[in-house]
Amino acid sequence: MVQIHAVPAFKDNYIWVLEDGRHAVAVDPGDDAPVREFLGRTGLTLSAVLATHHHADHVGGLAALAREWRCPTFGPAREEIIGLDRRLGDGDRIVVPGLDLLLSVFDIPGHTAGHIAFAGEGLVFCGDTLFACGCGRLFEGTAAQMVDSLGKLARLPQATRVYCGHEYTLANIRFAEAVEPANARLKERKAREQAKRDRGEPTLPSTLAEELATNPFLRCTEPGVVAAAERHAGRHLEAPVEVFAEIRAWKNSF
Ligand SMILES: [Zn+2]
């Protein structure tokens, strides 16, 4: 039975640590210190490191952990990451060493050019592409790429648990309310996520079903989202990608 822990790093990053009581696997270790502290406290052996994209707050601790534990590292084929030895792309499948988890790899460019997701066994690690009630900024990709990438994630089973890279949920919900003030699921979600933060708990993981019901970036064909984007743009928007681009820009200045 694999358990998944949120190990906080920096201001609002989560390093996800999967473990079965003996072996542990770290996803997006931006810093090695909190992972080392977790392993020391639990007595677990690190058997692999996974990385979704090249940003330092996701891979800064990868090389040091791999060296210390002599374990393999898995990450995007199309990005340069120091210490990465298994380079993966769309359609690849891996059995995660130590845990026997079978995960599929998806290319999900947009936030970065080579960003990947690991999905399977009812969960997805999607880095800075899909956030709880939001999505990543377009640093290296286009709106069209991000719409495609989010579409791939949206087609996973609805019960899929979504493990993303940052605790941005409450701020994302405030923006989502500006886009869809009448969305009842969003109001209900806000209360639930606020209660988790008040208890000092992560809001993550969410589920894909919850994202489909409340995340404006997955709802670019919903009439209410289209109308809000058009009001903000001051013009008619033809395609879902235009709606997405408008709300992404709106969020940047929110
Ligand atoms: Zn990033």
111 is catalytic: yes
pLDDT for the residue 37: 98
Q: Tell me: the pLDDT tens digits for 55-104?
A: 999 999 999 999 999 999 999 999 999 999 999 999 999 999 999 899 99
CA distance 42 to 190: 33
Integer CA distances (angstroms), 83 to 62, 88, 172, in order: 7, 14, 33
What global pTM score does this model have?
0.97
pLDDT for the residue 130: 98
Whose tokens are 């941005």? That residue is 168
* pLDDT band (50, 70, 90) for residue 220: very high
pLDDT for the residue 1: 87
128 is catalytic: yes
* pLDDT band (50, 70, 90) for residue 127: very high
55 is catalytic: yes
Query: Among 23, 53, 54, 115, which one carries the catalytic annotation?
Result: 53
- How many angstroms separate the alpha carbon of residue 58 from the centre of ligand 1? 7
Closest CA to 209 of 151, 154, 252: 154
Q: Tell me: the pLDDT tens digits for 4-48?
A: 999 999 999 999 999 999 999 999 999 999 999 999 999 999 999
Closest CA to 245 of 2, 174, 232, 17: 232
Percent of the chain with pLDDT over 90: 99
CA distance 169 to 166: 8
Q: Calculate mean pLDDT across residues 102-118.
A: 98
- How many angstroms separate the alpha carbon of residue 235 from the centre of ligand 1? 31
Cβ pair 125, 155 in contact under 8 A? no
pLDDT for the residue 203: 98
Query: Among 23, 54, 58, 115, which one carries the catalytic annotation?
Result: 58
Q: Tell me: the pLDDT tens digits for 165-198?
A: 999 999 999 999 999 999 999 999 999 999 999 9
SS3 247: helix
166 is catalytic: yes
Query: Among 28, 31, 32, 57, which one carries the catalytic annotation?
Result: 57
Q: Calculate mean pLDDT across residues 216-236.
A: 98
- How many angstroms separate the alpha carbon of residue 234 from the centre of ligand 1? 31
